[in-house]
Structure 1
Amino acid sequence: MSSQPSAVGAPAPSGPAVLTVPNLLSFSRLLGVPLFLWLLLGPHADGWALAILMISGITDWADGVLARKLNQMSRLGALLDPAVDRLYILATLVGLVLRHVIPLWLAVLLIGRDLVLACTLPALRRRGLTGLPVHYLGKAATFNLLYAFPLLLIGSQPGALGAVAKPIAWAFTIWGTGLYLWAAGLYLLQFRRVIRTLPVVV
């Protein structure tokens, strides 16, 4: 997982290795995205879909720990790890909207936030950056949302477990969405500072 940002941002960590242990874990998480979405929308195998989300969360934590322990931090890993997080969020939002678990406006709000930030990438690349470091608020937001989504799915089920999970799920959702938007605002402020400070690389 990425560290707290500096004032003007920095290039992602570099390294020649691609098939490192952390990167292989990230690739395995990436392969789980379409499987998760198919389980959610095809056979409605919610138990297996939840298992994929849980495994993804564990491997997400593990690849960050292993990257530091094994000194295998790389440019690919710095890009791949948050990208896979975003894909899981996107896939889950699409699935939960189509399953009528969350309202469409919530998905549009969260996806729109990422699209706005994606629009900053061309200007950063012209200044020799692949992106800006992920703020700790962004990591906290992702943490909340990745906990909220399986709980929302459980909360959509009838019975006592669903009744207990639903309010907890929406608490995580509200906190996660608020932090997600707050982190986006800080990112845009940081982006503005970088654009004013760093010249375009010719």
Structure 2
Amino acid sequence: MDGVGAVSSRVWTIPNVLSFFRLALVPVFLAFVVTGEDALALLVLIFSSVTDFLDGWLARRLNQVSRLGQLLDPAADRLYIFAALVGLAWREVIPWWLVAVILARDVMLAVLGVILANHGFGPLPVHHLGKVATFCLFWALPLLMLGEAYAPVAPYSLPLGWAFALWGAFLYWWAGIVYIRETARVIRLPADDSGPHSDRLDHEEVDGA
């Protein structure tokens, strides 16, 4: 990244504190979704999105990019998606099969992570399809909650929310297939005596990333 120094191992940085705060709000968000307080849930989600932008911007601005922060951000994103999916499925706004489809892909990624670790590699770089899929889901779930919270906009927000949800689930698995292919490719890489496998993987690029 331009203008950004080395990634540090620091824990207590301003961006990480924001990430911790964002993670602490996940149970609050889930409680609002489950109890049907969609307006409040949307406010929490908006606040989370703002802090998500701020912690990334501050990390670059203050030169406080850390390995912990790189783990916390995607973890928080997935937890908010998971909370929204479970809460909406609990209320029968969305079917449980959609929850299973999306969560199964994350379980598959966890398995791939174990396989990579067993071969001395770190996690794969994020593929652009995964980013687009996450973007779609982040639009889908608030749109579905908006339709539940405000009946006048439901005829518009619910169909649009479902379109984003289904497209996001499809892209989620498309990216998952790419990760499977890349995992198979990197574990077949010849041994490099110049450094550990994890260092080599840091320089590998997923196709199209």
1:161: which partner in 2?
Answer: 153
Q: Say which SS state the counterpart of residue 197 (structure 1) adopts.
A: coil
Q: Contact 2:38–2:148 (CA<8 Å) still a contact in 1?
A: no
Q: Say whether 1:17 aligns with 2:36.
A: no
How far 1:188 sits from its partner (Å)?
A: 1.4
- Match for residue 175 of structure 1 among 158, 167, 177: 167
Q: Contact 1:127–1:198 (CA<8 Å) still a contact in 2?
A: no
Superposed CA RMSD in Å reads 2.1
Q: Say which SS state the counterpart of residue 142 (structure 1) adopts.
A: helix
More divergent stretch after superposition (25-34 vs 60-69): 60-69
Q: Say whether 1:98 aligns with 2:55.
A: no
Q: Contact 2:30–2:87 (CA<8 Å) still a contact in 1?
A: yes
Inter-partner Cα distance in structure 2 for 1:129 and 1:72: 25
2:113: which partner in 1?
Answer: 121
Gaps of 5+ in 1: 3-12
**Which structure is higher in RCO with an 8 Å CA cutoff and minimum separation 6?**
1
Structure label with greater radius of gyration: 2
Inter-partner Cα distance in structure 1 for 2:190 and 2:31: 44
Q: Contact 1:144–1:173 (CA<8 Å) still a contact in 2?
A: yes
**CA 1:188–1:33 in structure 2 vs 1: closer, same or farther (change >3 Å)?**
same
Aligned length: 189
How far 1:36 sits from its partner (Å)?
A: 0.5
1:32: which partner in 2?
Answer: 25
Moved over 6 A (4+): none
- Match for residue 69 of structure 2 among 77, 85, 92: 77
Identity among equivalent positions (%) equals 48
Any residues of structure 2 matched to 1:29-68 within 5 Å, and which? 29-42=22-35, 44-68=36-60
Gaps of 5+ in 2: 198-209
